[in-house]
Amino acid sequence: MKKSTLFIMGAVAAMTAQAQAENLPDRQAQLPSSPKVEGQEYLIPRPLDAIPAGAFGDKVRKGYQLFVNTQQLRDKYVGNELNCVNCHMDAGRKPNASPIWGAYFAYPAYRKKNDKVNSFEERIQGCFTYSMNGKAPESGSPELVALSAYAYWLGVGGLMDQYGVKGEVPELADAELIKGGKREDFPIPEAIKQQLTVEQRANLPGRGYPSIPKPEQAYDPARGEQVYQAHCQACHGADGQGQAIAGVYALPPLWGPQSFNWGAGMHRVNTAAFFIHENMPLGKSMQLTTQQAWDVAAYINSHERPQDPRFNGKLEETQGKYHKHAGYYGKEVKGILLGKEAYPVFPKKQ
């Protein structure tokens, strides 16, 4: 067979594979979670004042600043009133609140959400697209490098302290930072590598939101409304739109045009229930029963929010392709078909 023929066949096969990958159904797997273990020890990140001076430290600091004040990217990459820290508590440092150090060691990894292996920066790009109802920064952008550097520094610094490795966190090139830490060739101190396998690093205790038992009664938005009024509305408002002072949100909106969209992981009732039970109410978590957590998660997620960015113009098809899980997209609640009149994706701030 001629080389030209082989080349054409190979090109066609590659194009076909790419087309298939782009059209594969999103099975929207839930975020990793497991029950809490009593007495479990968790990674302790280094304090922020330990971030080193110099160019690498500047990237880490920028990553921290973007994480806690993601609104500085509004209209560039962010399309709502949320910050990363709203779902990843204590600036992404808190175990059992989906800490960013745990996520860093979990990527590259296959994700059912887009049916391919994702690097760490691709995972963050997804956060901008869905949780921030915005636009993904381009690969290798300063913002993605900075967020990756921050996650890397928190994770590796914490492991170095845990295993008695002295000194500063080794600097990495930008191209290495954005890959993530779940790989055999990841440059990590030998003392840590001898203690933890790649898979063990990818599943550090406290990585996600701890799972809780299924509710004794089927979760119910009506009961959840009562829980919300008693425990949540003081911070997030009776209308769920959070609290803003001089246009700056101190407490985030939970539904409506300025919250996460229908593609974000938090719109799943189970994910929201896990997060709420462990981390809410803010400053006094673990106050709700598991039933209350499930019910109030259902109530929050039974309201309209921005459209799923993958919406193809047909609600039923989008629901069937991307939402075969515990959620309310494409379902009728109080006479309203959720998703039909969803708010815009990536709107400009008024």
- Residue 235 belongs to domain with CATH number: 1.10.760.10
Whether 82 and 160 share a structural domain:
yes
Whether 294 and 156 share a structural domain:
no
Residue 313 in tokens: 């113009």
In a domain, 105, yes or no: yes
Q: Please tell me the predicted confidence (pLDDT) of residue 113.
A: 65
In a domain, 215, yes or no: no
Whether 134 and 236 share a structural domain:
no
Average pLDDT over residues 45-52: 98
Amino acid type, 274: F
Higher pLDDT, 109 or 345: 345
Lowest mean pLDDT among 29-38, 67-76, 156-165: 29-38
In a domain, 230, yes or no: yes
Count of residues making up the chain: 350
Under the banding of pLDDT at 50, 70 and 90, the label for residue 27 is very low
Whether 153 and 242 share a structural domain:
no
Structural Rg of the chain based on CA atoms: 21
Whether 225 and 192 share a structural domain:
no
Under the banding of pLDDT at 50, 70 and 90, the label for residue 116 is confident
Check whether 14 has a pLDDT greater than 60.
no
Higher pLDDT, 203 or 9: 203
pTM of the predicted model as reported, rounded to 2 decimal places: 0.90
Check whether 206 has a pLDDT greater than 60.
yes
Contact 152, 104 (CB under 8 A): yes
Q: Please tell me the predicted confidence (pLDDT) of residue 298.
A: 98
Q: Please tell me the predicted confidence (pLDDT) of residue 3.
A: 38
Residue 149 in tokens: 């550097």
Phi, psi of 181 (to 5 degrees): -105, 5
Q: Please tell me the predicted confidence (pLDDT) of residue 322.
A: 94
Whether 127 and 260 share a structural domain:
no
Closest C-alpha to 343, from 286, 222, 260: 260
Phi, psi of 249 (to 5 degrees): -80, 120
Under the banding of pLDDT at 50, 70 and 90, the label for residue 347 is very high
In a domain, 344, yes or no: no
Torsion of CA 168, 171, 176, 179, to 10 degrees: 30
Average pLDDT over residues 209-235: 97
Domain that holds residue 334: 221-338
Under the banding of pLDDT at 50, 70 and 90, the label for residue 35 is confident
Cα–Cα dist 154/93, whole Å? 8
In a domain, 9, yes or no: no
In a domain, 124, yes or no: yes
Q: Please tell me the predicted confidence (pLDDT) of residue 28.
A: 45
202, 230, 255: which is the final residue of a domain? Answer: 202
Check whether 31 has a pLDDT greater than 90.
no
Check whether 12 has a pLDDT greater than 70.
no
Burial of 340 (0-12, 13-18, 19+ CB in 10 A): exposed
pLDDT digits (tens, 9 = 90+) for 239-288: 999 999 988 899 999 999 999 999 999 999 999 999 999 999 988 777 99
Under the banding of pLDDT at 50, 70 and 90, the label for residue 48 is very high
Under the banding of pLDDT at 50, 70 and 90, the label for residue 34 is confident
Check whether 201 has a pLDDT greater than 60.
yes
Q: What is the mean pLDDT of the chain?
A: 90
Whether 245 and 196 share a structural domain:
no
Whether 186 and 281 share a structural domain:
no
In a domain, 43, yes or no: no
In a domain, 297, yes or no: yes
Whether 190 and 232 share a structural domain:
no
pLDDT digits (tens, 9 = 90+) for 306-332: 999 999 999 999 999 999 999 999 999
Average pLDDT over residues 34-45: 91
Whether 228 and 311 share a structural domain:
yes
Whether 101 and 137 share a structural domain:
yes
